[in-house]
Chains A and B, each alone.
Chain A
Amino acid sequence: MTASRLQLPVVDKEQRLIEIRREAEDRGRIDSRGIRPAGAPFPRASVETGYYGIPLLKRPSWTWEIPLYFFVGGAAGASAVIGAIASYTGADRRLVRHARWIAAAGSVLSPALLISDLGRPSRFLNMLRVFKAQSPMSVGVWTLLGFSGGSVAAAFAGSMRERYGESLPIRILENAGEAASLLFGLPFSNYTGVLIGATAIPAWNENAGELPIHFGMSGLAASVGLLELMGHRRSRALQMLGLGAAVFECWEGWRLESRKSSAPEPLQHGSSGGIIRAGGILSGPLPLALRSASMLSGGNSTALRKWAAISAIAGSLLTRIGWIHAGHVSAQDWREPLRIRE
């Protein structure tokens, strides 16, 4: 083969090379050769685009277990509080027993979810090497430990007492477990808000002052809902707690929706905004309306309360999924950490 038979592209002028480059930059395509570089047209690195718009922050590496853990932990923590207070005020023993069972079930499920999300699950016990007050994850793990121990002890001792009758060791175990589950249940119901609030993710840390209360109320609504589904649909105390949580969630939803922001806000827009909004409606206005209706219709409409319960539980779960998802979206936003405004 001689050199003259090679099909070499001919470029007469330097100007043509510059044209090809410009064309590639502007359109991401060069017609004469049909080459299309992946991702074109490419942004420039600049003050306006940052480093080619590549996100500065890393996305959370957490998987589906974490929003579920947030939901389970919130409901379990609030259930322990309801169970203990109901017991102390001498309320219906069945309600106390069911609340304890929800707390105990959450106590078993929570560590399982947490461990399965670890990159090295076999090293879960490394969490217990140290206690670090400045790490919400460390504080949370120790709280979970105390909560789990207390809740499982209270539920176990309670069922032992019912089956085999009163005895001193059982009563001590039951009372100590109940006290521990109350003491640790209070922070356990809402610490997950601190956990994601104290991070570098803008959508989370901008709401660090509200997230714990929001998550705590969401957990309370889920706990009330679960108890109502277990048959406690005539409890006035649960109705009041459900109403209170729904009123708070209405306010929280209004706060999120009315926020003014120049940047595309993952809490309002896109898929994460949609999930949070759906969660908010199911947690706030809908159960509020259903509960109000059940009270107006003689106060004894258990069917309406059942639907309020289902709505609140679904809303609580969606709220956690939405907030975690918003963190992923927020981490991908390169403008916010670079303080670039459109």
Chain B
Amino acid sequence: MAVTAFLTDSTLCIGCKACEVACKEWNGVSEDGLDWSGFSYDNTGAVGHSTWRHVKFVENAPEPGFGGNAAELNSWSFSSDVCKHCENAGCLEACPTGAIVRTEFGGVFVQPDICNGCGYCVVACPFGVVERNPDDGRAFKCTFCYDRQKVGLKPACAKACPTESIKFGEIETLRADARARVEELQQRGMDDANLYDPTETSVGGTHAMFIVRGDARAYNLPPKPEVPTIYLKKAWTASAIGAAVLLGGTLAAFLAERPRSRR
């Protein structure tokens, strides 16, 4: 079974939100508001329990010559965000019920029939993806279209994308494609094109890579995402010290009292 990934190329995205619609229709995700957020043409602001694909609209300085836009108008970058399906997934490690599992395709999947809505995955995700649905009670996020991949189909968003901004395929092939694409873009004069693929941090790489222009932080992509399990050693050491102090202190206090009470 091939280990798969998404490669989302913002230089090809036209901001049509077909991926959002396709995702909602295929997965039966509820509507989450058609009001504009006020931030360009964005209406949900971020991925969440009812937004598994989310198109970001980043307005940049005018760029005459490239998109052909006038000097007075902003140029636009669009990028379709999604669950990163981390190699070391904070949500998966934190889940106390075992509802969150790793699939044979490398994705991270929340089994809806197991999740009891404890909400611990929500605070364990360094990308702010998984969220508890207040009406349903359980946590939801992108399934990496596990059902479709099972039968050899592309995820719904990648299938619906009209410009192939969302690419889907075997992870190492995609990684090579991504590097070639960034090189090509840079040769064409887009010096600021770069690949967001946090392999150097404790999340150990993701199954969703992004080609963006400029600083990835303008797309809410964290420069150094960390899986929260890295804090466990420090925290449990402190817990052991705390327990030892409690035990020792209580013993000392009551032993010190004993001779006096015998007198």
Binding site for B on A (CB under 8 A): 14, 18, 37-40, 42, 44-47, 49-52, 54-62, 78, 81-82, 85-86, 89-92, 117-121, 123-124, 126-127, 129-130, 132, 134-138, 141, 186-187, 189-191, 193-201, 204-205, 208-213, 215-217, 220, 235-238, 240-241, 244, 327, 331, 334, 337-340
Contacts and interface: CB of A to CB of B under 8 A. Distances in A.
Nearest to B79: A51
Interface string B134-166: 101111000000000000000000000000000
A193 B96 CA distance: 17
Contacts of B37: 39, 52
B64 interface: no
Contacts of B127: 56
Contacts, number: 280
B254 A81 contact: no
A52 B117 CA distance: 30
Contacts of A331: 123, 128
B63 interface: no
A212 B239 contact: yes
B235 A337 contact: no
Contacts of A209: 234-235, 237-238
Given A119-B116, A190-B243, A208-B238, A199 B39 contact: no
Interface string B210-228: 0000110111101111101
B220 A123 contact: no
Chain B contact-residue range equals 35 or more
28 contacts: A18-B72, A47-B215, A50-B218, A51-B39, A81-B250, A86-B254, A118-B137, A123-B114, A123-B116, A126-B99, A127-B96, A130-B98, A132-B95, A135-B96, A137-B96, A189-B246, A190-B239, A199-B228, A200-B123, A208-B238, A209-B237, A212-B239, A212-B241, A213-B245, A215-B242, A241-B249, A337-B126, A339-B223
A51 B58 contact: yes
B34 interface: no
Contacts of B3: none
Interface stretch (B17-25, B169-177, B182-190, B255-263): B255-263
B29 interface: no
A206 B131 CA distance: 22
B117 A118 contact: yes
B243 A189 contact: yes
Nearest to B260: A236
Nearest to B237: A209
Contacts of B39: 42, 45, 51-52, 54
B94 interface: yes
A193 B255 CA distance: 29
Contacts of A334: 220
A54 B221 CA distance: 12
B249 A197 contact: no
Nearest to B98: A130
B119 A60 contact: yes
A194 B125 CA distance: 16
Contacts of A120: 115-117, 137-138
Contacts of B226: 200
Contacts of B215: 46-47
A237 B243 contact: no
Contacts of A61: 119, 122, 131-132, 134
A185 to B, nearest CB: 9
A117 B235 CA distance: 24
A45 B58 contact: yes
Given A119-B137, A137-B96, A212-B235, A199 B124 contact: yes
A51 to B, nearest CB: 4
Interface in B26-43: 37-40, 42
Contact of B242 (A55, A86, A189, A327): A189
A308 to B, nearest CB: 16
A20 B250 CA distance: 71
B116 A126 contact: yes
B246 A127 contact: no
B238 A211 contact: yes
B1 interface: no
B132 A91 contact: no
Contacts of B119: 60-62, 117, 119
A213 B238 CA distance: 6
A241 B96 contact: no
A135 B93 contact: yes
Given A50-B220, A54-B220, A205 B231 contact: yes
B149 to A, nearest CB: 25
Contact of B219 (A51, A55, A81, A211): A51
B256 A127 contact: no
Given A50-B220, A58-B129, A199-B231, 13 more contacts: A45-B57, A56-B220, A57-B125, A62-B119, A81-B246, A81-B250, A117-B118, A118-B116, A189-B243, A201-B123, A208-B231, A212-B235, A338-B220
Contacts of A339: 217, 222-224
Contacts of B120: 135, 137, 195
